[in-house]
Structure 1
Amino acid sequence: MQKMLSSQHVLPPDLLSVKIKVKGVSMSFQKEDACNSLGIADIDSDSKDPQDCSQYAPEIYKHMLVTELDHRAPANYMETLQSDVTANMRGILIDWLIEVAEEYKLVPDTLYLTVNLIDRSLSQIYIEKQRLQLLGVTCMLIASKYEEILAPQVEEFCFITDNTYKREEVLKMERQVVDMMHFNLSVPTTKTFLRRFIQAAQTSYKDPCLELEYLANYLAELTLVEYDFIKFLPSLIAASAVFLARWTLNQSVHPWNPTLEHYTNYRAPELRSTVLALEDLQLNISRCPLNAIREKYRLQKVNYMLENSSCRQTPYTS
């Protein structure tokens, strides 16, 4: 492990490096004109997809690295505020919502935003366990309105709870949640960063590696049901998912490089604790019975690759 850590591709100090400090977190960004001399691939210059907003992407993601600090729940809210709801109940709720998202064919961004809204709500108001499912479907309703082209109707969310809650109850909870959020739903989630980081990782391949994309998304989604992962920033989880996916697929080269370090703003040693925690999820060390994500990805074409990745260890554990 120490041998691997000492051989990281760490970028040398550069006078063109820009450093800022936000809420005690130090961040540094390399100016674009320094990229070529440092062996960093430019992932925006050849983009043909207008949705990539390639002209503005560097500034957008730098802004997101700052704003993600403002839109996350405290890592200990379950212990300090909730007495009737437990971390296990939260996991069961999200595991069920993953199945709901699959049933209604919701985009991944909706699921990530739903979990973000649930955690931020639970960190601000006390919820009785009888109303936890109500909070969950309401947060998914809000996220659907924000992310989906055609969002499911309120009545459909009542139906999936076996009509445990009435339309009026869902709408009342909706008003309460958006008020708590101050109507700020533009939240950078793990999925937001994962798109960018996978794009940076793909520069290592001659042709796009679909296995990398599927595996990184699979690993990132495994964290949704785990309360312990709230302590990690979304960008950190996304970077760690890419690191672990690259190592799982190819152990002949180190999974981190100057391009990934530049675009994620993380050096390999900074990923260590998150990668190891993510590896435990990959191996299912705790034998977690919540399997909605695993079942979801068993339907994918990369099922064989996912199932046969469990015997591989990260460079941190070798």
Structure 2
Amino acid sequence: MKKENSVTLKARERPGRLTRARAAAALRTSGQQNQNQLSRVNSKTTVSDTSCLQRKKRAVLQEVTNVYCENAYKGCFNSTKIQAKKRKLAKAGQISVSKVSPSVSVEPLQFEVDSKAKETALQSQDTVCSINLENNQLLPLAAIDCCKDFRLPESQISGISAHPLMSQNKDKKDNLSKLLTALKDPGITNIDDYLEDSQSCSLYAADIYDNLRVAELARRPYPNFMEMVQRDITESMRGILVDWLVEVSEEYTLFTDTLYLTVYLIDCFLSKNYIERQRLQLLGITCMLIASKYEEINAPRIEDFCFITDNTYTKAEVLKMESQVLKSSEYQLFAPTIQTFLRRFLRAAQASDKDPSLELEHLANYLAELTLMDYGFLNFLPSIIAASAVFLARWTLDQSNHPWNPTLQHYACYKASDLKTTVLALQDLQLNTEGCRLTSVRTKYRQDKFKCVAALSSPKLLETLF
């Protein structure tokens, strides 16, 4: 132990290194000479450690933005001076260093650069910034431009504004001017007048529904998949499945949007994939499971859907079918349904009313849900079915006024003549002229909470209405 604690320096130790053993040995010795020797050792240690830290210093980061600029800072900075300056400023509280790399739009820290370095940076034309353009080319820029606020030339700008806030304000003004121009007609009531309510999206509602009208064309299922794709199931089997799913949605108190999305996913899968009748119910509960995950706050579990089929299908079979449905839809679950347009059209229908009519809303929802079980209504777009449901509901409740006013025509973008075929087919469902035995929707809307609208019947439609 004494040999190990010897003060003699070993070959591995640096000269002047102070260890615990050496300090203990120095304290045990008496006299001021040993204390002076210890102080000299400490001073040597400080110098050597400082030199060691000097050797461990790394060069300052030259570029930490998301844009790579070659030679942008070449020969412009002295790393030692910059580090010292940053330490002084940090102590004074004048600078804050971020741990996250700034984006292109954030200006980097400004350093003092001599005039010669600035001239060198401006004259370097070989600097390249790797910005992905539409033509996948690299845009040559000056080094000083890469470090400042980035601006594309006018020829390279394709619908991208250099000032996002200014462009947003301009879009708001344009939308507002278009809205006010369209509403100059005194017969049209503005249903998007909640300009101060940001949740209503008043300035963007028209654009949103314009995009939904395009999406319903692109995302609709094939209306003739029973004849072209399916060979083992029929239209009546599909109707029985949807009728049963209405009961399931009532059992688990699911949203109406969940039911519509479920039927949409079923039709989309049947449009692209052949299925046997033994697996049709499995497809139904799987699509409702997916729709519940998308729409519901507390979605039912897989075991719940297996239980409601009397455990005909296992959890593993449901998970396997879920994977097939998601792959078939390419994981694009959203699509505008009848319910999506029905909300806006009902609002337009009651724009001039002082108090909203719950009976009108329930009746329109009832008529719209009747179409889910009828395979023939796949030939109509969801928006035109929603408009026809509002048309027939207004006619059922009030025959003294025309069911289609200028406000509805403006927001639905359909004339009364465009709705004639759909309204007539919808009235046949309402009056049950073909003796349909699927009664889940009718039973649902005979309840008092829905104002018993299923018991109402509409009078004969006049030709003058169209």
TM-score normalised according to structure 2 size: 0.60
Letter in 2 for 1:45: D
Which residue of the other structure, out of 307, 315, 318, is the alignment partner of 2:462?
315
Amino acid at match of 1:297: Y
Question: What is the aligned partner in structure 2 of residue 291 from structure 1?
Answer: 439
Contact map agreement 1:95 1:225 (CA 8 A) in 2: yes
Matched, 1:214 2:362: yes
1:276, 1:316 within 8 Å by CA — same for their partners in 2?
A: no
Asked whether 1:73 is paired with 2:211, we answer no
Aligned residues: 288
**1:126 aligned to which of 274, 281, 284:** 274
Q: State the match for 2:294 in structure 1.
A: 146
Contact 1:35–1:41, Cα closer than 8 Å, also in 2:
no
**Does the C-alpha gap of structure 1 residues 68 and 133 become closer, same or farther in structure 2, counting only changes over 3 Å?**
same
- SS of match in other structure, 1:312: coil
- String of CA shifts for 1:59-85, please: whole Å, max 9, x gaps: 111100010011111111101111100
Post-superposition offset of 1:302: 4.6
Distance 1:51 1:211, change over 3 A: farther
| Preserved contact between residue 242 and residue 372 of structure 2 (Cα < 8 Å) | yes
Please, which moves more after superposition, 99-108 or 207-216? 207-216
Map Cα deviations across residues 240-272 of structure 1 (whole Å, 9 max, x no partner).
000000111111110111110111111110000
Residue 62 (structure 1) aligns with: 210
* 1:171 corresponds to 2:319: yes
Cα 1:50–1:144 shift into 2, 3 Å: farther
- Using the TM superposition, give the Cα deviation of residue 315 of structure 1 relative to its aligned residue in structure 2, in angstroms: 2.9
CA distance in 2 between partners of 1:181 and 1:99 (Å): 25
Q: Is the 8 A contact 2:341 2:383 kept in 1?
A: yes
Q: Higher relative contact order at CA 8 Å, sep ≥6: structure 1 or structure 2? A: 1
Provide the C-alpha distance between the structure 1 equivalents of 2:338 and 2:410, rounded to a whole number of angstroms. 18
Letter in 2 for 1:217: N
Question: 1:243·1:256 contact (CA, 8 Å) conserved in 2?
Answer: yes
Counterparts of 1:34 and 1:126, CA distance in 2: 50
> 1:113-156, CA deviations, whole angstroms, 9 ceiling, x for partnerless residues?
00000000000000000000000000000000000001001111
1:35 aligns with 2:189: no
State the shift of 1:311 in Å: 4.8
Q: Does the 8 Å contact 2:409/2:415 carry over to 1?
A: yes
Cα contact 2:362–2:453 (8 A) shared by 1: no
Distance in 2, Cα, partners of 1:132 & 1:317: 44
Deviates more, 1:36-45 or 1:147-156: 36-45
* Aligned-partner Cα distance in 2 for 1:261–1:48: 26
State how far apart, in whole Å, the 2-side matches of 1:98 and 1:64 are: 25
Answering whether residue 242 of structure 2 is matched by residue 97 of structure 1, we say: no
2:408 corresponds to which of 234, 238, 260 = 260
Cα offset, 1:229, TM superposition: 0.4
- Counterpart of 1:52 in structure 2 is 200
Q: CA RMSD in A?
A: 1.7
8 Å CA contact 1:93–1:133 kept in 2: the answer is yes
Contact 2:389–2:423 (CA under 8 A) maintained in structure 1: yes
SS in 2 for 1:203: coil
Gaps in structure 1 of 5+ consecutive residues: 1-29
The question of whether the paired residues in 1 share the 8 Å contact of 2:219 and 2:335 is answered with: yes
Q: CA deviation at 1:206?
A: 2.0
Q: Indicate how the Cα distance of structure 1 residues 60 and 302 shifts in structure 2: closer, same or farther if over 3 A, else same.
A: same
Q: Flag the 1:117–1:305 CA change in 2: closer, same or farther, 3 A.
A: closer
Q: 1:277 to 1:147 in 2, by over 3 A?
A: same
Contact 1:91–1:227 at 8 Å: present in 2 too?
A: yes
2:258–2:295 contact (8 Å) kept in structure 1: yes
8 Å CA contact 2:189, 2:352 repeated in 1 = no
TM-score, with structure 1 as normaliser: 0.87
In 2, Cα distance between equivalents of 1:145 and 1:200: 31
Once residues 195 and 443 of structure 2 are traced to their aligned partners in structure 1, the CA distance between those partners, rounded to angstroms, is 33
Verify the 8 A CA contact 1:141 1:152 in the aligned structure 2.
yes
| Equivalent runs, 1:197-276 vs 2, <5 Å | 197-276=345-424
